[in-house]
Amino acid sequence: MSLQITLTQFIINQQRLLDDATGDFTLLLNDIAVACKRISHAVNRGAITGKLGSANSENVQGETQKQLDIITNDIMVGSLEWTGHLAGMVSEEIDDIIAIPAQYPKGKYLALFDPLDGSSNIDVNLTVGTIFSILKGQEGHDAKLDDFLQQGSKQVCAGFVLYGPSTMMILTTGHGVNGFTLDQDIGEFVLTHENMTVPEDTSEFAINMSNQQFWEQPVQRYIDECMQGAKGVREKPFNMRWVASMVADAYRILTRGGIFLYPLDRRNPDKPGKLRLMYEANPIGFIIEQAGGACSTGRERMLDVCPCALHQRVPVILGSKNEVDRIDAYHRQYDLG
C-alpha cells in the first residue's frame, strides 16, 4: 500500500537535500499549515457561527474589513508569534510591523501575509484564500522596516491556501511548485499536484472589465485585441474569467494557463494598482515564475521591484509567459511613443 506524502514529509525530504538546514523552516511551515487549517475551519463554518458580514472597521488600505478578515488575521498572528522562528510579521490587516511579544524567542524568518484574500467573496460563498511570503531577517532581533523591504526575488518560500471545494496549499521554496490537498479525514495536507506548470500560451484572460476606462493604452490594446476574436490580429477567440479572488484566478492559471491583470489605474496616482506588492503580488509572482510563467508590472519583472513601503500597491500582470511578454512589449512600445 502506498501512502500519500504529507506536506511535513515533503518539506523534511527537501530539507535533507540541504547541508546547513536546521529544521527551523520545516517547523515554521508546519505552523503556517496549522494556521491555515484553523482558517479553513472558520471559513467553512460560515454563517453557522454568525461571523459573515462586515466588521464595520477599516484597515490601513482604507478598505472595509469583514469579520473574517479580523478573525483570520488573529489566527495567523496567534499561530505564528510564539513559535520562535520569526523576527516579525506583516499582515494586510495591520498598519505596522507585528512584533514578536517579548516573552517568546525570536528567529531568523519574516512572515508576510494576506490572511483572507478575496474576502469580498466570503458572503457569497465563493473561493477565498490565504497568501504568505517568507523572507530571511536578522536572527534574534526585532524586525525593522528595512528588513522587510526586500525584492520578491529574495523570498525563501511563498504559498497560498485556497478555501474552495477542496482546501489546498500551493507552495514553492524555489524548486518548482507543488500542490497539497487537505485530507479532512486525517487532518493533513497531502501531495496531490506535483510539479505544477503554467503553459506558455493561452487564450483565456482575467481582468475586471468595469475598470476599463482607467487603464493605460497598452492594456487597452491587449484586451481589445483579445476581444476581436478569430477575425482580429490574434486570429483566435479568447475566453474571459474573473473570480475577484486572486488566489482562485492564480490557481486556475496554474492548472490550465491564462493571464491575470490588475493593471495600473489612472484614478488615483497614489494607488498605481489595487494589489499589494509584499504579500500578494510577490508571493503569487514567485509561484507563477517557478511554474514556468511570468509576472510583471508591465514595465518591470515583479520580483525585481524594490519595495519602499509595507503596503505598497503595484500593477500586476501574471500568467502564461508569452502573453506576459506580449503585454510588456506593448508597454515598451507605448513608452517609446
Binding part of the chain for Mg ion, among 11-19, 29-37, 46-54, 113-121 by CB under 5 A, reads 113-121
Tell me how far apart the 2 most distant CA atoms of the chain are, in Å.
66
CB of 5 to ligand AHM, least distance (A): 29
State which of residues 24, 63, 183, 300 lies at the interface with ligand AHM (CB under 6 A).
63
List the grid coordinates of 97.
Answer: 510591523
List the grid coordinates of 223.
Answer: 484586451
Pick between residue 63 and residue 225 the one whose CB is nearest to ligand AHM: 63
CB of 130 to ligand AHM, least distance (A): 10
Give CA–CA dist 253/204, Å, rounded: 9
Binding part of the chain for ligand AHM, among 6-14, 112-120, 139-147, 263-271 by CB under 6 A, reads 112-120
Q: Which residues contact 280 (CB under 8 A, 6 or more apart)?
A: 92, 114, 117, 131, 246, 316
Where b means 16+ CB within 10 Å and e means fewer, 229-238 reads eeeeebeeeb
244 binds ligand AHM (CB under 6 A): yes
Residue holding cell 506593448? 330
Residue 186 dihedral angles phi and psi, to the nearest 5°: -105, -5
CB of 323 to ligand AHM, least distance (A): 17
CB of 298 to ligand AHM, least distance (A): 16
Pick between residue 11 and residue 112 the one whose CB is nearest to ligand AHM: 112
Where b means 16+ CB within 10 Å and e means fewer, 51-89 reads bbeebeeebeeeeebbbbbbbbbebbbebbbebebbbbb
Residues facing residue 204 across a β-bridge: 239
Binding part of the chain for Mg ion, among 76-84, 114-122, 303-311, 317-325 by CB under 5 A, reads 114-122
DSSP state of 17: T
State which of residues 81, 114, 265, 328 lies at the interface with Mg ion (CB under 5 A).
114
State which of residues 31, 81, 93, 117 lies at the interface with Mg ion (CB under 5 A).
117
Pick between residue 121 and residue 181 the one whose CB is nearest to ligand AHM: 121
CB of 223 to ligand AHM, least distance (A): 15
Taking residue 129's Cβ as centre, other Cβ atoms within 10 Å add up to 32
93 binds Mg ion (CB under 5 A): no
Closest C-alpha among 97, 79, 96 to residue 88: 97
246 binds ligand AHM (CB under 6 A): yes
Residue 150 dihedral angles phi and psi, to the nearest 5°: -110, 150
State which of residues 81, 114, 289, 323 lies at the interface with ligand AHM (CB under 6 A).
114
Give the footprint of Mg ion on this chain (CB under 5 A). 114, 117
Give the footprint of ligand AHM on this chain (CB under 6 A). 63, 92, 114, 117-120, 208, 244-246, 262, 274
